[in-house]
Amino acid sequence: KKKKKKKNKTIEKWSNSCHHELALDQRSLTSLEQVLEWTPGDELNRCSVALKYSKWHNTSVSNVGQSCSSSAPPTRPLVCVCHDMAGGYHFDKWNQGYHYGFEQVQLNGVGQMPLEYTLHFWQYVDVFVYFSHDFITIPPKQWIDVAHRNQTMILGTLITEHAKGSQLSYEISCDDEKREKTVEKLVSMAEYYGFDGYFLNFESHLTPVEYYEDESNKEKAKEKSDKCCLAAKKLVEFVDLLTKALKRKLPHAKVLWYDSISIFDGTVSWQSCLNDHGLSFFNICEFRLFFFFLRICIYCKCRIVIASINVVHAYSGFFTDYHWGKEFPQTSLDYCRNRKFFFFFFF
């Protein structure tokens, strides 16, 4: 009889996870199970350059949260750039750099290096968001280091989309145990890898999976609607919990909220401005003025450019949809009451 080969449990563990001790690249987490099972260990993916000065707070990071005077408002409008390059994690994911070798692309018959996302003029960028379409996006080490070297904060991304995203959103909103554990893991990831917070992009209805496609039964539809409304309120609690937990571990950390979910029914409903649909998320930081964004989709050479509106003393943020009109900034101001905005556009 042939002897059965014994499986090496360590190798088996490494093969099932990209975040093992010898990982040379950074990757996203695609499921809630992966998030809840995540543990520190991939040392090579940790940043080696700490953020020493916060342009957002206009002071050194060590001073943030020590006193009101230490967290002075910015003396100029803030600029945020959101990376959105073909799903992310291309050659930039390798924590030791990458040798392109013969991997060239042909452009007009001439061999060139593969196109990669690049960012210039770091001195004008206050916040950088590394983005992908997977559940949790952890910024690669290379991006964290270069951002911090230029005194720029860098955020990871939490995104939910489509039917799978609906179930994810519902679970982390309405399951108290999973909500707390998810927040705990997200804070641990930011602290371990060294990035500075999260961009929250909930673009799926807060619908339990069993109700996702069934609209025929009126009673079931009403039950679904009630659960979605409850989930929306619970999602506010999730955002609040994450923001406060991050601040305890990383006083300078930021959470940016994308204008997508309506508080009234838990559905995706882009408003392109601040109004009653998104006010609850804005008011999470009632005593912390917001960093408010308007985004313009200008696609040029694989780059998405962002325009923004700034509110001083910002601790967290609100990020509107693309299709806003010239009257929407004033509408947003009306909802902000006594909070002064400074308008600007970055191209």
CB atoms within 10 A of CB 218: 8
Distance of CA 120 to the CA centre of its chain: 21
Is residue 173 pLDDT above 60, yes or no? Answer: yes
Residue 273 to residues 48, 72, 264, Cα–Cα distance (Å): 38, 26, 16
Please tell me the predicted confidence (pLDDT) of residue 69: 43
Q: Give the pLDDT band of residue 277 (cuts 50, 70, 90).
A: low
Can you list the domains of the chain with their CATH numbers?
9-344 (3.20.20)
Closest alpha carbon to 53 in 139, 123, 158: 123
Q: Give the pLDDT band of residue 107 (cuts 50, 70, 90).
A: low
Q: What's the number of CA atoms in the CB half-sphere (13 Å) around residue 214?
A: 12
Distance CA 22, CA 43 (A): 8
Share of the chain above pLDDT 90, in %: 28
Q: Which of 26-30, 113-117, 168-172, 277-281 has the lowest mean pLDDT?
A: 277-281
Is residue 217 pLDDT above 70, yes or no? Answer: no
What is the mean predicted confidence (pLDDT) over 190-213?
83
Is residue 22 pLDDT above 50, yes or no? Answer: yes
Q: Which of 167-176, 212-221, 309-318 has the lowest mean pLDDT?
A: 309-318
Residue where the block lists tokens 């990209």 = 18
Winning range, highest mean pLDDT, from 229-238, 258-267, 274-283: 229-238
What is the mean predicted confidence (pLDDT) over 158-168?
90
CB atoms within 10 A of CB 165: 21
Is residue 118 pLDDT above 80, yes or no? Answer: yes
Please tell me the predicted confidence (pLDDT) of residue 66: 59
Distance CA 304, CA 322 (A): 12
Alpha helices in 217-338 (DSSP H): 218-249, 279-282, 328-336
Residue 169 to residues 127, 172, 195, 338, Cα–Cα distance (Å): 25, 6, 23, 33
Question: Helix, strand, or coil here: 272?
Answer: coil
Task: Provide the whole-model pTM.
Answer: 0.77
Distance CA 139, CA 89 (A): 9
Distance CA 73, CA 314 (A): 8
Q: Which of 97-111, 175-189, 332-346 has the lowest mean pLDDT?
A: 332-346
